[in-house]
Each structure stands twice: as C-alpha cells, then as structure tokens.
Amino acid sequence: MAGRGDPPEGEPEGLPGGGDDEYGSVDFDESFIRAARLREASAKERMKDHSHAVRRVPPPPPKRRFRRSGFRNGPKRLLLLLLVIVLAFGSAIYLGLRNPYRPITAGTVPQARMAVVPLAPRDRVPGGAPDDLFARSPAAQFREGAAGVALPAARDTGDFSEGQVMAALTTVKDYLVASSMDPDVLAGHTVRPVRVLLDPDQLPQFDRSFSAPANDGRHSPAGWLVRFDPAKAVPAGSGVRAHGTLRYEQTSAGTLEVVSEHVFVYALRPAASAARPVRDASLFTVRREMRFRFDVEDLLKHRTEVLSSDVLAGPQACTAEAPATLRPLLAGERAKPDDPAGTDPYATGPADTALCGTLAGTAQPNP
C-alpha cells in the first residue's frame, strides 16, 4: 500500500525515483519562480472557466529607475541650445545685411530742396484800409482762411485707396494752413504746428533752418513756413486770403506725391502803429509751390515729407543774407533802385528761381 506522500500508482515517470530524471539538475530558485508566466488557476477560477487549468500571468511592469544622466548632461545641452540660437541669430543678421532688396528704413528721407525769391516793388508800397486794398487787388476773389485751400476729388491710384488719397490731401491742407495762416506761426512765436506734421527724419534739417539759416537751398525758414519779423510788421486784423490748387499722383510703388500751388495774401501794418486805427496797412503776397511725399506709415501717422519748396514773396528788399523771418516793405516804403527784371507771383507755371525779382504791377493794388 502506498504511503501518504506517494502517488497511488507509484512514482510518475520522469520524477525522482521513477523513470529518467531529465530535470534533476535544474535548480528552480525564487527569482525563476516569480518570473514564471503561468499560474495554476484556483478552485473558484476553475469552476467559472473549465477550459484552462492554468492562466497566463502578465509580466510585472518594469521598475522605474532614476536616471542621473539628464542632470549630468543638462549644462552641456543648455550650452548646445545657446550655441544654436546664437548661430541662427547671426545668420539672420548676415543675410539681412547681404540682402540688396531690404525695405526702406529710417534715414532714407531726402532733404527738402527750397528756393526763396524776394520780390522788390518798383515804386513805393501803396497803403490804406485792408478791405480797400483787397478789393483793388487780384486777391479780391480769393477765399479767406482755410477755405482758400480747396481739396480736389480723391480717387484710388492703385496702391493707395480713395481714403488714403484723401488722408494725404488733408495732411497737406493742414500743413499749408498751419504754415501760412496760424497767427502764432505768422508772428514768429512758435513753429510747433508745422514741425509736428513732418517726418521725423526731416526734423534735423527743419531745426537747423531756424537755428542757422543759410542761402544754400536747404535751410531757409521761408521754405518751410511764413512768418514776419514781429518788430517790423503785424497782421492788420483782416484774415489771410488764399487761392490755389492741389494735385496728386502715385510716382512709384508705395509712394504718393501731392503738389500744391497757392498764393497767400496778407494785410500787414507797422508794429509801431498797432494801437492806432488801421489806415496804413499794405498787402504782402507769398506764392508757394510745394511738393510732398507720402508712404503708408506717413498716412497712418498724419505726417508728410517735404520734397521741395519754391517761394516768391514781396514786397521785400533784395538781400544777400538769409533772414530768419520775412521782412516786408510796408506802406510808403520802397526798395533800392537797382532791382532786377519783374516777376509776377500770380502767374502760373514754374516759379522763377532768381536770387531776387521785381514785384510786377498785377501783384499791386490798383490805385
């Protein structure tokens, strides 16, 4: 009879004491047993599922080990990243400098070209009441104040819409009104209303024109604005009369130019007679032909670039110096006898660029 620990039919084949001991030398240690993928099903599991006596056990998840290599290589990786950024930035700068088609940047606005021609009268300057003087002159039909600077109809030009063209025309009108009609500008008290309308790149030229005037075609105050010597002449109380035209064209891609041709007529009186009734006023005429340029940024910021300014102004005495203000000849005064040929500021066409001209009869009030 078999013992309690023996099988009923004796020892099975292949186990110790029965048959060949094929796996007798194999040592099933604890790590091997834990790594086994098969596990015998329990009694409850066998009751639920009779198909398998054993089931496959999923492998245990790998242990997460703390990698110290990232901390060791961190500074190296950071240096490599910084090196890549520096190389990319340097390449961008190099390519930008080498690119011949880079866009226009600050500093590319040219200096304004200007010519200011004083007009000397042939005879004594006539005087009288401002309204009578205007009524007897070609300025009788001119409008007063800003109404004398009329805006033309605006149409798109291809690169510039109708609204952008109107913005350019409005900026030019604001410039003409500020530089030709503002009382504080005319009296020489300020230049700010004109200065704020200029492109910042032209401000050094503008400022030098007033700090160091010169007859060099670049730095004449009268090329930028109209102002009189307050110690000599003051407005006679009547508004400025104006008449002229504005025209525009797109001269290149992204560039719009506006040309203004206007005549401004002022009634002036001696500064010493400001407290007396106005009986000794005289007219002073300024013809201004100016060319302005705009790009999209100028339109957005309500500013302009002055390309050129040609001015005829009189009655004045011919002088070789560059005055900081206009010095009109007032009622009863006359210029020196050695005057050049006559020039009419009311005439259309290109302005005369002589150093001095003679105020023609059509510019004077009719006696």
Per the CB < 8 A criterion, the answer to whether 112 and 139 are in contact is no
The pLDDT value given to residue 187? 92
- More confident: 24 or 130: 130
- 261 within 8 A of 245, measured Cβ to Cβ: yes
pLDDT of 224: 97
Q: What distance in Å separates the CA atoms of residue 355 and residue 186, rounded to the nearest whole number?
A: 23
Report the pLDDT averaged over residues 44-54. Answer: 60
Cα 64 from Cα 108, distance rounded (Å): 64
| pLDDT tier at 262, thresholds 50, 70, 90 | very high
Q: Which of 33-47, 69-83, 107-121, 157-171 has the lowest mean pLDDT?
A: 33-47
- Average pLDDT over every residue of 316-340: 79
Q: What's the whole-number average pLDDT of the chain?
A: 79
> What are the two backbone dihedrals, phi and then psi, of residue 304, each rounded to the nearest 5 degrees?
-145, 165
- Which range has the worst mean pLDDT, 89-93, 145-149, 221-225, 240-244? 89-93
For the segment 63-67, the average pLDDT, to the nearest whole number, is: 54
- Is the pLDDT higher at 41 or at 206? 206
DSSP β-bridge partners for residue 144: 241
pLDDT band at 82; cut points 50, 70, 90: confident
Task: Tell whether the model's pLDDT for residue 204 goes beyond 60.
Answer: yes
Give the CA angle between residues 163, 156, 298 to the nearest 5°: 55
Residues 6+ apart with CB under 8 A from 359: 119, 120, 121, 122, 285, 314, 315, 342, 343, 345
Residue type present at position 207: D
Is residue 87 very low, low, confident or very high in pLDDT (cuts 50, 70, 90)?
confident
Sign of CA dihedral 179, 185, 191, 197: negative
Maximum mean pLDDT: which of 29-33, 86-90, 104-108: 86-90
* Stretch 160-187: mean pLDDT: 96
Using pLDDT thresholds of 50, 70 and 90, give the confidence band for residue 40.
low
pLDDT score for 246: 97
Question: Which of 70, 120, 20 lies closest to 355 in space, CA to CA?
Answer: 120
Per-residue pLDDT at 336: 73
In terms of Cβ atoms closer than 10 Å to its own Cβ (0-12, 13-18, 19+), residue 15 is: middle
Average pLDDT score over residue span 41-46: 65
User: What mean pLDDT is predicted for residues 362-367?
Assistant: 55
- Single-letter code of the amino acid located at 203: L
At 218, the pLDDT band (50, 70, 90 cuts) reads very high
Long-range contacts of 5-14 (CB under 8 A, 24+ apart): none
* Token representation of residue 84: 């890549």
Token pair belonging to 291: 């060319």
Q: Can you give the pLDDT at residue 56?
A: 58
List C-alpha distances in Å: 321 to 103, 117, 158, 225: 41, 12, 45, 18
Say whether pLDDT at 213 is over 60: yes
